């Protein structure tokens, strides 16, 4: 039993004697719980790239972004262990302060080559990347247009920038063009920010059309491809499927298909040099642990050597969508939108009883009324288990 603060212990404290901070937090928790929106961490041990242990039961996970099952790949683990032996556990300080470990330069060169860019910069996480990159290039008097379903870290970075923020309808290029035409003239610099693959819907941004609109209005394009790298475009990411698209800031992470942790952005050499000297989440934070960089390099080796592993992810997702007569999967993620949070939680519990871990996604992660099961596929999911999952979900989709 946890010895930390929990709801049951708080409930034993008369509200009249709670300090104001505790009372505030408890009132918010009570309100969230009443709407089936309170979130709770559940101890879960990942056994390999597919199976987990939770509440004493072994479950097949369809809730992990380890799309290529590389977090447990022998070569990736061996690279991380060797880096720990050679370089130690941590980086010691900011890369600008402690000196730049050569492994970061090697990884950045590899990423730039993969993405067809001049240079790259590694970050500690995807959230640090977007929350740092955006305020580096736009600020007060500038304009940011964001897909309304873009990841939270894009919104955070945009808010930090103090630029004017204008959302556009999801993947709606006409709406984007209209808003650019309406607001571009009032702004100094303009940035368009979107996901490549949307993490909760699994669909893909039309980067060719977005890029054309951006270039017509002298706007820069930032693409967060966290869920595209290693999965779409033969593993090179979303932009690789749109050869005419010009992506000025190509961001992604090591924490999904690459199986590790960290992030990057690829761009022109001057842009990357400017990031390394002025982006606060590079300058004022400790560098990524060398083991994470080594693991990412090893994961990129696997992707290059095993194209069949990359192809398997979409194949597995599409087997599932065929079984349920859903639109063909465009990525590793397939949403089953059920609407109400309570119903979605009950559906996730029903699947867990049948041996599956499928997470319930609720507001504010997704818009109100669109709570869903987020089904994430990996290269290693057995076909027969995908069929069994589809059969288990089918009755849960009814009205």
Catalytic entry in 179, 256, 316, 381: 256
From the number of C-beta atoms within 10 Å of its C-beta (0-12, 13-18, 19+), residue 17 rates as exposed
Please enumerate in sequence order all residues whose Cβ is within 8 A of that of 82, keeping only pairs 6 or more positions apart, or say none. 294
162 is catalytic: no
38 is catalytic: no
Catalytic entry in 71, 125, 199, 211: 199
Catalytic entry in 73, 115, 179, 227: 227
Residue 343 tokens read as 């119903």
77 is catalytic: no
Buried b (16+ CB within 10 A) or exposed e, 106-144: ebbebbbebbebebbbbbbbbbbbbbbbbbbbbeeebbb
Residue 54 tokens read as 């939770």
**Residues acting as catalytic residues:** 199, 227, 256
């Amino acid at each position: 039993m946890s010895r930390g603060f929990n709801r049951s212990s708080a409930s034993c404290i008369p509200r009249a004697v709670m300090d104001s901070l505790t009372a505030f937090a408890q009132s918010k928790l009570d309100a969230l719980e009443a709407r089936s929106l309170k979130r709770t961490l559940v101890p879960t041990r990942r056994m390999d790239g597919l199976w987990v242990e939770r509440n004493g039961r072994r479950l097949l996970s369809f809730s992990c972004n380890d799309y290529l099952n590389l977090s447990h790949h022998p070569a990736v683990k061996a690279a991380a262990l060797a880096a720990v032996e050679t370089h130690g556990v941590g980086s010691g300080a900011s890369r600008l302060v402690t000196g730049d470990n050569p492994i970061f330069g090697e990884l950045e060169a590899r990423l730039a080559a993969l993405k067809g860019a001049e240079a790259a910069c590694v970050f500690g996480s995807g959230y640090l990347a977007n929350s740092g990159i955006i305020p580096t290039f736009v600020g007060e008097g500038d304009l940011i247009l964001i897909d309304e379903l873009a990841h939270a870290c894009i919104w955070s970075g945009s808010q930090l920038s103090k630029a004017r923020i204008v959302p556009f309808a999801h993947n709606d290029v006409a709406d984007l063009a209209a808003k650019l035409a309406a607001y571009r003239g009032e702004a100094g610099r303009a940035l368009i920010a979107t996901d490549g693959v949307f993490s909760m819907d699994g669909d893909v941004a039309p980067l060719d059309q977005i890029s054309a609109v951006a270039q017509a209005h002298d706007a820069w394009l930032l693409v967060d491809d966290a869920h595209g790298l290693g999965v779409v475009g033969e593993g090179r990411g979303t932009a690789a499927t749109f050869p005419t698209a010009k992506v000025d800031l190509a961001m992604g992470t090591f924490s999904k298909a690459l199986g590790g942790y960290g992030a990057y952005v690829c761009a022109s050499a001057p842009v990357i040099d400017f990031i390394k000297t002025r982006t606060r989440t590079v300058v004022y934070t400790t560098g990524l642990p060398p083991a994470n960089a080594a693991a990412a390099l090893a994961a990129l080796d696997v992707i290059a050597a095993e194209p069949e592993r990359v192809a398997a992810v979409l194949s597995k997702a599409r087997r599932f969508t065929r079984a349920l007569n859903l639109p063909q999967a465009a990525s590793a993620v397939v949403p089953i939108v059920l609407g109400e949070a309570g119903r979605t939680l009950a559906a996730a519990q029903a699947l867990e009883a049948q041996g599956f871990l499928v997470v319930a996604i609720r507001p504010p992660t997704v818009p109100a009324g669109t709570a869903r099961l987020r089904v994430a596929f990996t290269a290693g999911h057995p076909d027969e288990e995908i069929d069994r999952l589809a059969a288990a979900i089918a009755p849960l989709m009814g009205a």
